[in-house]
Chain A
Amino acid sequence: MTIQEIENQIIEEFSIFTDWLDKYEYIIELGKNVPVIEEGAKKEENLIKGCQSRVWLDCWQDDGKLFFAADSDAIITKGIISLLIRVYNGQRPKDILESDLSFIDAIGLQENLSPTRANGLVSMIKQIKMYALAFENK
């Protein structure tokens, strides 16, 4: 599936929630149930420092496609990260660089990307694109 197709799928999944807290409940479930990174990969060089929560991100390439694993000590951040990984895993660097992650806005989580929240998510997306840029130029 393309990035856009996966994003559309997520938007559809979230469309059933009318209440904010239900939406968060779902994200928290995602955060709890998806073991996104191995403990061994939670090393210092994979740590992205946000003001309020820590985020670890690991990335590798296989057959021209990128794969990610990540974690955070904040569970809502972790839930959103699991959505990001679902969108980006197995995509080509060029497509990742061109994506605009419109689903975050569409499902109403755009404030999580606001730099004032400083919750590590913004830095993580930046880091994903840096990886994509690095692999694209290889």
Chain B
Amino acid sequence: MNAIQDIRDRVPALAQTVYGKPLVYLDNAATAQKPVEVIELLNRMNSATNANVHRAMYRLSDEATNLYEGARERVREFINAPARENVIFTSGATASINLVASSFCAKYLKEGDSVIVTEDSHHSNIVPWQLACEKAGASLKVLPIDENGVWSAQDIIPLLDERVKIVAATHISNVLGIINPVKELIEIAHRYGVPVLVDGAQGIVHTRVDVQELDCDFYAFSAHKIYGETGSGILYGKEHWLEEMPPYMGGGDMVGTVTFAKTTYAPLPLKFEAGTPNFIGSAALKPALDFAWEISQGECGKAVKESESKIIAYMKGALAEIDGAVLYGESQNRIPLFSFNVEGCHPGDIAQILDKMGIAVRTGMLCAEPLMAHFGVTSMVRASFAPYNTLQEAEYFISGLKRAVAMLR
């Protein structure tokens, strides 16, 4: 418990009150709150190191470049990528997936081919592939989930044939919180010679990701969900794919030489980083990942694991006791993320009442309309916990929810 309080003390946003009540922030799957080290780096760079990277020969630009490239090295180490060339800075997981959907598919996806996505995908792992398929005259196939919200890696076998050019799989669903068997899926797809992109927007936060052990071809995530800055994200890619794929966008920083007759491109990773990057936001990934690493290690890591299992057990039990409550997604392999509905209560109404109690939750389609359709609803309430959330907050949330339900019925 003290370990959790120590983590909380490092995250200033958590100490505030809203409507005179202590903030209980349970929308971490959308955006996590930042530790003081991240905020300080952002402030320091904005005030003292705001100079464009990779360009100029003066002190400030060198410092900014070092911080930017230092963060790239930290990411490489964090996900155990072989080299810095594998680590592309983007504006977020959505941009990372769009990059692959656009560039990879431009080269490899042809008329009559297909792409497979998992049914539990976020819109960001559906729409980019639909756009690519439309452009190529290809089709989108879906690896379905069962009534518990779980997909089986084996079920992809009947979908795989020589026309499948890539599989895009969700590591952890942002709606169901289930940790999917991506490693097994990758093994199977590779047996058929099909590369796999993993949407790791939630996965990077809650599991230890080793891209070489996973053997994924691409891994995409956002910085702001792992205590970093918004507008920054990562695309990990195997080098041979990144070498073979055409550039995504053209412009500054991604060029070798430019003439009106022909342009050559910069070597990886800059080939995919056209224009001035979000160098301050991306540099902040270093302290963000340092923080994520620290709180997952040693005694602190043990305390977080223990606290999360308690929260999961408590939340599942407490929601089951509320008359008419339905929790979506059932698996032993889950993160402390709970999407649910309560019969007779509109999710928007529940969220508005919780808001006035200082509790921040997400409602709506959660950027996953096909999943909503699967469960036959148009909206859900989602409470998503981070390591800095306590069991007491879970209890306060449940008592708030009970009060809201009593008011609404």
List CB contacts (< 8 Å) of B1-46 with chain A: 19
Q: Which of chain B's residues has its CB closest to A75's CB?
A: B349
Assess the A24–B348 pair: CB atoms within 8 A.
no
- Say yes or no: is A134 at the interface (Cβ < 8 Å to chain B): no
Q: With A20-B19, A25-B407, A52-B363 as known contacts, state yes or no: A77 contacts B348, CB within 8 Å.
A: yes
Contact residue among B349, B365, B379 (Cβ-Cβ distance under 8 Å from A76): B349
Which B residues are CB-close (under 8 A) to A21? 353, 356-357, 403, 407
Query: Shortest Cβ distance from B19 into chain A, in angstroms?
Result: 6
B407→A24 contact, CB < 8 A? yes
Asked whether B346 lies within 8 Å of A53 as measured between CB atoms, the reply is: yes
Instruction: Report if B408 contacts A (CB, 8 A).
Output: yes
B346 A74 Cβ-Cβ under 8 A: yes
Q: List the B side residues contacting A51 at CB < 8 Å.
A: 364-365
A75 touches B356 (CB 8 A): no
Residues of the B chain whose Cβ atoms lie less than 8 Å from the Cβ of A25 = 407
Q: Which residues from 21 to 80 on chain A have a C-beta closer than 8 Å to any C-beta of chain B?
A: 21, 24-25, 28, 51-53, 73-77
Q: Which of B363-389 contact A (CB under 8 A)?
A: 363-365, 379
Interfacial chain A residues near B403, Cβ < 8 Å: 21
Residue A82, interface by CB 8 Å: no
Which residue of B is nearest A23, CB measured?
B356
| In the bound complex, CA of A59 to CA of B408 (Å) | 28
Which residues from 76 to 96 on chain A have a C-beta closer than 8 Å to any C-beta of chain B? 76-77
Q: How far is the CA of A55 from the CA of B352 in the complex (A)?
A: 17
Contact with A along B255-284 (1 / 0, CB 8 A): 000000000000000000000000000000
Query: What per-residue 1/0 map shows which CB atoms of B325-362 lie under 8 Å from chain A?
Result: 00000000000000000000011110011001100000
Please state if B348 and A52 are interface contacts (CB–CB under 8 Å).
yes
Q: CA of A118 to CA of B379 in the docked complex: distance in angstroms?
A: 13
Whether A74 touches B407, Cβ cut-off 8 Å, given contacts A20-B356, A21-B353, is no
Contacts of B356 in A (CB 8 A): 20-21, 24
Whole-angstrom distance between the Cβ of B20 and the nearest chain A Cβ: 9
Instruction: Note all chain B residues with C-beta closer than 8 A to A24.
Output: 352-353, 356, 407
Bound-state Cα–Cα, A76 to B356, Å: 13
Chain B nearest Cβ from A100, distance in angstroms: 23
Residues of A within 8 A of B347 (CB): 52
**How far apart sit A74 and B356, CA to CA, in the bound complex (Å)?**
17
B190-218 contacts to A (CB < 8 Å): none
Report the minimum CB–CB distance from B27 to chain A (whole Å).
Answer: 13
| Chain B, Cβ-Cβ closest to A20 | B356
Q: Assess the A73–B353 pair: CB atoms within 8 A.
A: no
Q: Is the CB of B407 within 8 A of A53?
A: no
The verdict on A28 contacting B408 (CB below 8 Å), with A20-B356, A21-B356, A52-B379 known, is yes
Q: What is the CA–CA distance of A118 and B351 in the complex, to the nearest angstrom? A: 13
* A-B residue pairs, 10 tightest by C-beta: A74-B346, A20-B356, A52-B348, A74-B348, A76-B349, A52-B364, A53-B348, A74-B349, A75-B349, A76-B352
Chain B residues in contact with chain A, CB under 8 A? 19, 346-349, 352-353, 356-357, 363-365, 379, 403, 407-408
| A interface residues with partner B (beta carbon < 8 Å) | 20-21, 24-25, 28, 51-53, 73-77, 112, 118-119
